[in-house]
Structure 1
Amino acid sequence: MDFKGLRTCIYKVNDLEKAKAWYNEVLGFGPYFDEPFYVGYNVAGYELGLIPDEGNPATHEGGVHTYWGVENVEAMFQRLLGMGASTYEAPNEVGGGIVVGMVKDPWGNLFGMIYNPHFSLA
């Protein structure tokens, strides 16, 4: 049995409607699945899901670190900060031309970005 790669990343949010509006703007499109218990986006063949959570958003920080591929980490990082995200890890090169950065969305979820010139879906 082999792993087939990232399929789904789920973020907990305490206001599903506000989170949906925020992610619609971040992604530039709406969800393909939209129910009160789950909102799902198809992001270039990968799933970004939102689920309602009435818990403390601060508890999300210790969870999974997921990185979404982008062409320009610094530009996306600044865009997300302008949309209400906060800095978790400023963009930096980690070697081999790979650049990563991470913000906290308005609900405390970690949202990572990566530019990796060595990665290919093919």
Structure 2
Amino acid sequence: MLGLRTTIYKVGDIKKAKDWYAKAFKTEPYFEEPYYVGFNIGGYELGLQPEENPTTDKEESVVSYWGVEKIQEVYDRLIDLGATENEKPYNVGGELTTATVKDPFGNIIGL
């Protein structure tokens, strides 16, 4: 194992998802094709792939957490952009706080 390289979110509308993630992560994709859109987020790959059977009802089995400096601000901004609350910011010990939202396509984004 070499470590985590890519987090991929399956989406029903890849063009809408590309626009949403560009706003949410404040960056444009470096790669864009109908079968995959790739973003470089602080040296890590965030990928979008189209779903064969689009759904916003997705399993919550694995969550990737993206590092942020001001979790409440980022959480509130994602909600303002159309994400929905999954887990409000919660102190899990010391200075560590986590939160999760669901993107408009049903994927969970950890902060």
- Common fold: TM-score over 0.5: yes
Residue ranges of structure 2 left out of the alignment (5+ in a row):
none
Deviation at 1:63, TM superposition (A): 3.3
Question: Residue 93 of structure 1: which of 91, 100, 103 is its match?
Answer: 91
**Matched residues, percent identical?**
48
Aligned to 1:55: 54
- Write the deviation string for residues 58-106 of structure 1: whole angstroms up to 9, x where unpaired: 0x23232110000011110000000000000000110021010000000
Which residues in structure 2 correspond to 1:8-47 (within 5 Å)? Answer: 8-47=6-45
- Write the deviation string for residues 3-27 of structure 1: whole angstroms up to 9, x where unpaired: 4332100000000000000011111
SS in 2 for 1:71: coil
Residue ranges of structure 1 left out of the alignment (5+ in a row):
114-122
The 1-side partners of 2:32 and 2:64 are apart by: 22
Aligned to 1:78: 76
Letter in 2 for 1:55: P
The 2-side partners of 1:100 and 1:62 are apart by: 16
Query: What is the CA RMSD across the aligned residues, in angstroms?
Result: 1.1
The 2-side partners of 1:105 and 1:7 are apart by: 21
Q: Which structure's residues are more often helix, by fraction?
A: 1
The 1-side partners of 2:61 and 2:48 are apart by: 15
The answer to whether the Cα contact below 8 Å between 1:20 and 1:39 also exists between their aligned partners in 2 is yes
Aligned length: 110
Relative to structure 1, the CA distance from residue 34 to residue 62 in structure 2 (aligned partners, 3 Å threshold; closer, same or farther) is same
Structure showing greater Rg: 1
